Structure 1
Amino acid sequence: MPLQSAPPFRAEHMGSLLRPAPLLAAREAIRTQNLSPEAAGLPAVEQAAVRDVVQLQRSLGYRGVTDGEFTRTRFWGLTWDEFEGTTRLQDAEASMFRLYHPDVVSLIEQDRKVMPGDSVIAGGKLSHDPAKSVSNLHELKLMQSAVPEAEWADIKLTMITPAWFHMRYKQGKAYTPEAYSSDAEYFKDVAKVYKAELQQLYDAGLRNVQFDDPGMAYFCSQKFRDGWAADPDNTTSVDDLFDAYIALYNDTLAGLPEDLHTGIHLCRGNFIGGRHFAEGAYDIIAQKLFQDLHVDTFYLEYDTERSGGFEPLKFLPKDKNVVVGIVSTKLRELEDKEEMKKRVYAAADAIASGSGETREEALKRVCVSPQCGFSTHETGYPLGEAEQSAKLKLVRDIADEIWGQP
């Protein structure tokens, strides 16, 4: 097959990689010794860590390199924090939240009936001030300093879904009444600020963005669907919400440059200790997801039976790609390469069954990856750096043997 000139690439990974000890130590010093980032040496440590992790990826043959999410303490970074109009909640009452939402289930402190301070609402009208962008642009520039300029277009930046701080809240609680009167009004401004952020990043050289979206995977969960149906405060169906999120993405991406590659990772969770949050086959959302959502690539988790089979891939349109996450970032054991190759072929066969293509034709729109990031939060994961490298090499080897050298 011909070499790829643009993402997605045959061997991909989902963004986060295990943080090195000096980076964790600097952050711990900031927390425990009340030091400024500069006093703790964090900027220099981050730059060195990003340089090293980029070199690791390139040495393993990865083109869509990331910064390992090393400038973040958790996978969603600071995207929302930098927007004007947001309000961070501290010890918010549990009554504000959907107690059946998988994130809320995992985070709520049962004895206090409050949520920790990692939640944001719109306290006023949302807007984007380029002069105050401190998160994603900073990350992009760090990666550009570690990658030859000729390869800047391959750099992959991960961003949290525009719907991140909406789904967990009860009806109408993602914003104050003074800020917005409806979800539709709120979503309109969310799309506007995300579009401004993406355009700013594009102008700085970004050509490859991956939205991390656990929420879309939750629509596969019968537990979440049952919780939604039983919630007396909901005025719409769970499928109406799914439609609203697709529309939010499409509004966000409309009018952006055509050579900005966009993808969505339906994350099922890789929390501390490798905990997952969602299970359920893609069947219930596949047709609408693949055909109506205007992204180029779908990054899907297929490491366990929790995700169901490949049959839903029959709905994948001919102009879209899928990255099948078949290698686990939660288990130390290295998967059998030949068995993984069989799974890639099975995914291609499922696509071909719906598109009328041959397996060989369908394979042109398939890539392979681990199912999730290796360190979506700073610490607490079962794999070590050697095991991480072995998993990444396995993905690269699978890709090389199926599609040839990159």
Structure 2
Amino acid sequence: MSNTNIAAKAQYVGFKADHVGSFLRPERLKQARQKFAQGKISHEDLTQIENEEILKLIEQQKQHGVKAITDGELRRAWWHFDFMENLLGAEGFDEQEGYKFHGVETKPHQVRITGKLAYNPHHPHFEHFKFLKDALGDDATHTAKMTIPSPNMFMQRKIRINDVYGNDLQQYAEDLGQAYQQSIRHFYDLGCRYLQLDDVYWAFLVSKQRHDEAEKFGDSTEEIAKACVKTLNIALEYKPEDLIIGMHICRGNFASAWIYEGGYDSVEDYIFQQIENVDRYFLEYDDQRSGGFSPLAKLKGKNAEVVLGLITSKVEQLEDKQAIIARIHEAAEFLPLTQLALSPQCGFSSTEEGNRVDYDAQWKKLELINEIVAEVWEQ
């Protein structure tokens, strides 16, 4: 259940058309990041270009009916590492191999634990959110939405097993949860009222990769899942009543490729019944890899929504409107329409490379979502 008050619910429940957060990087920004990496422009020059492109993106979102405005994650190279490596006790580094998606491999970057995990009051993402919030000003029809990786992204084995914590999963979960709890409070104090936690790890827990890992190392999926619940509940324990929390689960999103497959069935009790204070579940449902809708019944009667990720961000081709509407009504057999909403299954650019779609395709997808929402919910 969530402690979110009625006024906050009334405001954000209207976002039946939503999105996951990241947008394709404009060519000007790609070139600027390349020049910065080559030492041809300063960090100040890069920041100025980022600022200008984010202001343009804000206007583009407004023009295409987006109510929850993000900075598109335009300042990030990765959707998760940029946040993770700036917590105290963590650092980023380049390893020998990247993540292997279907048909493509990422850059070889990773995060490691170097000390006790803790909140960083000088985390750069705080200033990133402040810029977004200030840019929106007193606009009452839009809200600044912040997206950060879930603390569970630290549960990956190559990060979780380290020289600082050893195999002490409970202390690891405790410190991780506390670091996020304080970080979330800092975002709130800066004016954030809509925060999304991106959590690919739940999809990993139902995947073949997790089954293989468990066989190889002998650790318990159930024990790790319980630690994930503990971490999130600590992170959200003192969530203010007017802060909306979203949690996004997908199966990998890099250069239009994916990495995991498996339904929500085996983790439905953890994510829908044991985690507290999540208001909106952004769930990937754009193809058969995500399983069926029956797990959604676990949320019936609760005060949380499911934002159905039925529109893919991985290909340009627009979905058939009536086919999507039919799937929404199929989902409504398990959870009432009042508790459902619609979005893409993931962002359009989880890393700076972006999905293999044309820049304008992302806006056409969002326009389609608006059309479907108007037909299904706003009659």
Change (3 A) 1:140 1:89: closer
Which of the residues 200, 206, 209 maps onto 2:192? 206
Distance of 1:34 and 1:227 partners within structure 2: 45
CA contact (8 A) 1:310 1:347 kept: yes
Structure 2 SS opposite 1:125: strand
**Which one has the largest radius of gyration?**
1
- Answer yes or no: is the 8 Å Cα contact 1:322–1:365 preserved in 2: yes
Q: For residues 262-303 of structure 1, give each alpha carbon's deviation from its aligned partner in whole angstroms, at most 9, with x where no partner exists.
A: 11111211112x110111111121233211112111100111
Contact 1:8 1:64 in 2 (8 A): no
Over 3 Å counting, the alpha-carbon distance change for 1:151 and 1:364 in structure 2 is same
1:245 corresponds, among 228, 236, 242, to: 228
Alignment size in residue pairs: 368
Confirm whether residue 142 of structure 1 aligns to residue 135 of structure 2: no
Q: Classify the secondary structure of the residue corresponding to 2:158.
A: coil
The answer to whether the 8 A contact 1:153-1:205 is kept is: no
Deviation (angstroms), 1:388? 1.2
Equivalent AA in structure 1 for residue 163 of structure 2: T
2:95–2:110 Cα contact (<8 Å) kept: no
Q: Using structure 1 for the length normalisation, give the TM-score.
A: 0.84
Distance 1:116 1:147, change over 3 A: closer
Alpha-carbon separation, structure 1, partners of 2:144 and 2:311: 22
Is structure 2 residue 267 aligned with structure 1 residue 285? yes
Work out whether residues 329 and 370 of structure 1, in 8 Å CA contact, stay in contact via their aligned partners in 2.
yes
- The aligned counterpart of 2:115 is 124
Normalising by the residue count of structure 2, what TM-score does the alignment of the two structures yield? 0.90
- Listed one character per residue, the Cα deviations across residues 47-68 of structure 1 (whole Å, up to 9, x for unaligned) are 1111111111111211111111
Alpha-carbon separation, structure 2, partners of 1:116 and 1:271 = 11
> In structure 2, do the counterparts of structure 1 residues 88 and 71 end up closer, same or farther at CA, with 3 Å as the change threshold?
closer
How far apart are the structure 2 equivalents of 1:4 and 1:60?
22
* Residue matched to 1:163: 152
Query: Which residue of the other structure, out of 263, 268, 274, is the alignment partner of 2:246?
Result: 263
Question: Could you tell me how far apart the structure 2 residues matched to 1:186 and 1:180 are?
Answer: 9
Structure 1 pair 116–391 and aligned structure 2 pair: CA distance change class (3 A): closer
Question: Does the alignment pair 1:176 with 2:160?
Answer: no
C-alpha spacing 1:349/1:134, structure 2 compared with 1 (3 Å)? same
Large movers: runs of 4+ above 3 Å: 87-92, 103-107, 150-153
Match of 2:140 in 1: 151
The match for 1:17 is: 23
- The amino acid across from 2:308 in the alignment is V
Corresponding residue number in structure 1 for 2:257: 275
Q: Deviations over 1:309-354 (max 9, x none)?
A: 2111111142111000001111111111111111111111122xxx
Shift of 1:144: 1.6
Q: CA deviation at 1:117?
A: 5.6
Q: Which runs of 5+ in 2 are unaligned?
A: 1-8
Change (3 A) 1:8 1:253: farther
How far does residue 146 in structure 1 lie from its aligned partner after superposition? 2.4
In the alignment, residue 18 of structure 1 is paired with which amino acid?
L
Q: 1:372 aligns with which of 342, 346, 364?
A: 346
CA shift in 2, pair 1:27/1:116, >3 Å:
closer
SS at 2:130 equivalent? helix
Q: Does 1:342 align with 2:326?
A: yes
Change (3 A) 1:50 1:349: same
Q: Point out the more displaced range, 78-87 or 281-290.
A: 78-87
The range that moved more, 282-291 or 155-164, is 282-291
Alpha-carbon displacement from aligned partner over 1:137-176 (angstroms, at most 9, x marks no partner) = 1221221232132439822111011121331417x62x32
Contact 2:118 2:175 in 1 (8 A): yes
Give structure 1 stretches of 5+ with no counterpart.
Answer: 95-102, 352-361
Looking at structure 1, the residues matched to 46 and 175 of structure 2 have their Cα atoms a distance apart, in angstroms, of 34
Pairing of 1:314-333 with structure 2 (within 5 A)? 314-317=297-300, 318-333=302-317
Q: CA deviation at 1:182?
A: 0.8
| Equivalence for 1:228 | 213
Deviation at 1:378, TM superposition (A): 1.2
Give the distance between the partners of 1:241 and 1:129, measured in 2 at CA. Answer: 25
Hey, what does 1:86 align to over in structure 2? 90
Equivalent-residue separation in structure 1 for 2:317 and 2:92 (angstroms): 40
Q: In structure 2, the residue corresponding to 1:78 is in which secondary structure?
A: helix
Give the % identical residues. 31
Q: Deviations over 1:226-254 (max 9, x none)?
A: 213311x33x4112211110111011110
